[in-house]
Structure 1
Amino acid sequence: MVVDILDILQYEHMRNALISALLASIACGIIGTYVVVKRIVFISGGIAHASFGGIGMGYYLGINPVLGILPFGIASALGIGWITKRSSLPEDSAIGIFWASGMAIGVIFLNLTPGYAPDLMTYLFGNILTVPFFDVIVMLILDIIIASLVYLFYKEFLALSFDEEMTAVLGVPAEKLYFLLLCLIALTVMVLVRVVGIILVIALLTIPAALSRQITSDFKRMIFLSVIFGGIFSTGGIGISYMFDIPSGATIILVMSIFYFAYSLFRGKLNNLLS
């Protein structure tokens, strides 16, 4: 088995896949915890799917589609946040509008692009085994940005997650922090899109954090466990997908889901054994 693992690591695409999985686990562990605690999962889904417009734009302009996601993701995050805070339009309606508009823009750009987009499915459903080294570098830079901003504003984000109104009363610029958090979600989507794709981003953002929340109520430990779970499930999913030649993104999510439901079912028995 050790020899097999060493043999696998000789391939550049497998090394890139494992590094990408670890980088993705950092982003989804940190931001996913805030997403779950603040209950903005569907805002995250709206940002993720609206970012599909950036993929279409990237193909149309002839640039790396991952880079094309950034302006659409940030614009969608700020747009959803602004409409939610400044207009009478319900939050779910705003999410639906951006969700549908982003996907439509992506389809139009792809239709206008000469030729055929051969790896489009990797952006919809992910294929971590095809991540190039350039994307690994982009993911590393984004992870550093995300971790640095969360470190700088940890207390403010923590207060915002549990009681936004009280945060504003205390003089903290809650609305600006909310917009910043949505932008961090957009950056996280960029990190995760090559791992599981636009369609499955929500799962990777929420399942590790939701599992860690069942285990601890301490926020720092929750983030730490989310990162650990994300890394274990992602690398495990890669191994299974490689062994059975099945889609990597879907396999990673399936592994996470199985562990989550298994823990939920046997949580009481596990607690009794440990007590």
Structure 2
Amino acid sequence: MIDILLIPIALVVVLVMLHAYFGIEILKRGIIFTDLAIAQFAALGSSISLGYFHEEYFYPLTLSFALLCAFLIAFASTRKLHLEAFIGILYILGASGIMMVLSHSSEGMEHFKSLLASDILFTPLHDVLQSTIIYAFIAMALYFVYPKLNGFFRELFFFSLLAITVTSSVSLAGVFVVFVLLIAPPFVSMSLNAKRPLLVSFLFGWFFSIGAIVISYFYDLPTGYSIVFMGALLTVAIVMMASRSEKKK
């Protein structure tokens, strides 16, 4: 049992650490569905690879579409418009594009399900190590380069790094898992007014994702959807209790 669970647990530990940081920045900007839109564009690129190129050019197409969405969001963030509405339109553009591309594929619906939430229980160790290296370079870029930029280039750099992160994460875990790992941990830490929001985000993200992996293993449930469900359920409960206590004060 330990051998089977070790790799997916290692994967979510790494995923939570980088995604929680991006999630805090996204919540500060007030553009919650940014990651969903980028993830959908990344998924659209992978769908085009499956539907038209027999899964050739998978990574270049996935990354190219994610970067395109990141550029559009960065450009829009410097303009006076309803940014959340614009991001919502990008999301449905990507989602509808996926369905159109996969409509004539015999494997279309299975691929679509895996794009939403993958069964990470059987993720190869090679994929985890490869993504960990990518995330390490992204973390260094966020620490050393990002603070020195400003204006449009600062936003473009941030969303481009988010696009690269999401490209890797979607292929490993799926769109819904990426969203819940990005938003749920920082949402809880901010709702609790944590003095160290990043640390609390890490702990909460690790708690529900590792717990979901163990539960999915023993009860033969889809691992990706178990992570999404448990993360969303606990987040709703904690945020509601936190808001109730604030109201009493």
Give the TM-score of the pair, scaled to structure 2: 0.82
Q: Of 9, 28, 31, which aligns to 1:40?
A: 31
Q: Of 46, 52, 76, which aligns to 1:55?
A: 46
Moved over 6 A (4+): 268-271
1:16 matched to 2:7? The reply is: yes
Contact in 2 for aligned 1:84/1:90 (Cα 8 Å): no
3-state SS of the aligned residue for 1:229?
helix
Give the Cα separation in 2 of the matches to 1:89 and 1:119. 35
Contact in 1 for aligned 2:40/2:175 (Cα 8 Å): yes
Q: Which residue of structure 2 lines up, in the alignment, with residue 174 of structure 1? A: 151
1:137 matched to 2:129? The reply is: yes
1:133–1:110 Cα change, 3 Å:
farther
- Say which one has the larger Rg: 1
Q: Of 208, 212, 218, which aligns to 1:233?
A: 208
Deviation of 1:84 after TM superposition, in Å, equals 4.0
Deviation of 1:239 after TM superposition, in Å, equals 0.6
Contact in 1 for aligned 2:177/2:227 (Cα 8 Å): no
Q: Which residue of structure 2 lines up, in the alignment, with residue 167 of structure 1? A: none
Which runs of no fewer than 5 residues in structure 2 stay unpaired? none
1:29 matched to 2:35? The reply is: no
1:65–1:244 Cα change, 3 Å:
farther
Contact in 2 for aligned 1:31/1:184 (Cα 8 Å): no
Contact in 2 for aligned 1:237/1:252 (Cα 8 Å): yes
Q: Which residue of structure 2 lines up, in the alignment, with residue 123 of structure 1? A: 115
Which runs of no fewer than 5 residues in structure 1 stay unpaired? 1-7, 157-171
1:195–1:239 Cα change, 3 Å:
farther
Deviation of 1:128 after TM superposition, in Å, equals 1.2
Give the Cα separation in 2 of the matches to 1:261 and 1:43. 20
Could you say what the CA RMSD is over the residues aligned between the two structures, in angstroms? 2.9
1:75-127: CA deviation from partner (whole Å, max 9, x where unpaired)? 111022223435x65324432342233234433443566x5355442212222
3-state SS of the aligned residue for 1:41?
coil
Q: Which residue of structure 2 lines up, in the alignment, with residue 76 of structure 1? A: 69
Paired residues for 1:259-270 under 5 Å: 259-267=234-242
Deviation of 1:195 after TM superposition, in Å, equals 5.5
1:242 matched to 2:217? The reply is: yes
Contact in 2 for aligned 1:127/1:194 (Cα 8 Å): no
Give the Cα separation in 2 of the matches to 1:132 and 1:120. 20
Q: Which residue of structure 2 lines up, in the alignment, with residue 100 of structure 1? A: 92
Deviation of 1:154 after TM superposition, in Å, equals 6.2
Give the Cα separation in 2 of the matches to 1:234 and 1:67. 29
1:129–1:194 Cα change, 3 Å:
farther
2:213 maps to amino acid:
I
Alignment coverage as a number of residue pairs: 243
Q: Which residue of structure 2 lines up, in the alignment, with residue 252 of structure 1? A: 227
Deviation of 1:237 after TM superposition, in Å, equals 0.9
1:205-257: CA deviation from partner (whole Å, max 9, x where unpaired)? 11101111233454xx2222212222222111101111111122222122223
Identity of paired residues, percent? 23
1:110 maps to amino acid:
L
